[in-house]
Amino acid sequence: MGEVTIFNQAQKNAVTVSGPRESALKGVFKSGAVTTRRIQANINGTFKRIVNGEQVGNAVRGDIKVIILNALPSPSRQYYADKYDPSKEATLPNCWSNDGVAPEANAPDKQAASCMNCDQNIKGSGENGNKACRYVRRIAVMLENDPSGDIYQFNIPAKSLFGKGTGNVHPFESYTRYITSNNEALDNIVTKISFDAEASTMELNFSADRIITDDEYELVKEARSKPEFSMYVRMTAAQTDKVVKVPAAARAEEPEEEATAEPTKRPKKKAAEPVAGKQDLASALNDWE
């Protein structure tokens, strides 16, 4: 699915190439800046490939098969103050934590010093009695039958993380324990990710499909040296899509910080005003500042 064919297939198959060919143009034309990739699960039961924030190719319905390359030791957290609205411009989360213990240093609107003591981590702080700050798993995956070895980020929502599985089919956290208890490793098997047809909301199931081939094992070993291998499990989906706009709540704090510094200077400014009640030019400019 990850292979891109740029030639007519019939013509491509009709050409025999004896070996490597030299080119004076190789490397002259660049494909662009750093490429970011993720696979997005949608409420309509499809998966989409998102490259640099834009959909690439057709959506895949039902299930996909991947090799899970990397994940953090524990689930992460993220908090959006505003309700999701697909018509609005995407922003970074207000606050997020990769380790689920404390906000990241670059979170623009930190809600507390620690996740345990955060008001957004209390039941009822969000909609329908849920917590406003949600768990999320960001994993790095490779698509089955993709010889390019491209790495994608995949975000697993909270409702697909916890709970018990049945047989070979599990929520993600249960699935990892299931694989480990069978003396296997996640990056040594092909995992099928599918939508739970019995769930009332979007929930994903994970199941073991097969052991990876020798060729896939070589791709997995190569992937471990790529920046995306570690980067995708620490970046939010918004960061992966190259979103840089901070949420409104974080921007609203900026004027308040400036206002708190003014009162210490104002008494001196007022003392410099003329007795006649008219400000001279210097005093007026000081007050404006």
Q: DSSP for 125-187, please give it.
A: SSGGG--SEEEEEEEEEEETT-TT---EEEEEEGGGTSS--BTTEE-HHHHHHHHHHTT--GG
Determine contact, residues 105/261, Cβ cutoff 8 Å: no
Residue 238 placed within a domain: yes
Nearest 5°: CA angle at 178, between 176 and 184? Answer: 80
Residue 251 placed within a domain: no
Residue 128 placed within a domain: yes
φ, ψ of residue 139 in degrees (nearest 5): -120, 155
pLDDT tens across 198-237, in order? Answer: 888 889 999 999 999 999 999 999 999 999 999 999 999 9
Residue 115 placed within a domain: yes
Q: Are strands 189-195 and 204-211 parallel, antiparallel or unpaired?
A: antiparallel
Residue 168 placed within a domain: yes
Q: What is the mean pLDDT of residues 191-199?
A: 93
- Give the residue numbers spanning the domain of 207: 33-243
pTM to 2 decimals?
0.73
Q: How confident is the model at residue 279 (pLDDT cuts 50, 70, 90)?
A: very low
Q: Shortest CA distance to 253 belongs to which of 102, 100, 111, 91? A: 111
pLDDT mean across residues, the chain = 81
Helices and strands of the chain, counted as H and E runs? 8, 11
Number of domains in the chain: 1
Residue 178's Cα: distance from chain center in Å?
25
Measured over all CA atoms, what is the biggest interatomic distance in the chain, rounded to whole angstroms? Answer: 96
CA distance readout (Å), 22 to 13, 19, 171, 179, 251: 21, 10, 50, 47, 53
pLDDT tens across 54-97, in order? Answer: 999 999 999 999 999 999 999 999 999 988 877 788 889 999 99
Residue 259 placed within a domain: no
C-beta neighbour count of 59 within 10 angstroms? 13
pLDDT tops 60 at residue 255: no
Residue 249 placed within a domain: no
Helical segments of the chain, H only: 9-14, 172-181, 214-223, 227-231, 237-240, 248-259, 266-271, 281-288
Q: How confident is the model at residue 253 (pLDDT cuts 50, 70, 90)?
A: low
Q: What is the mean pLDDT of residues 42-63?
A: 94
pLDDT value of position 102: 94
Residue 275 placed within a domain: no
User: pLDDT higher for 68 or 3?
Assistant: 68
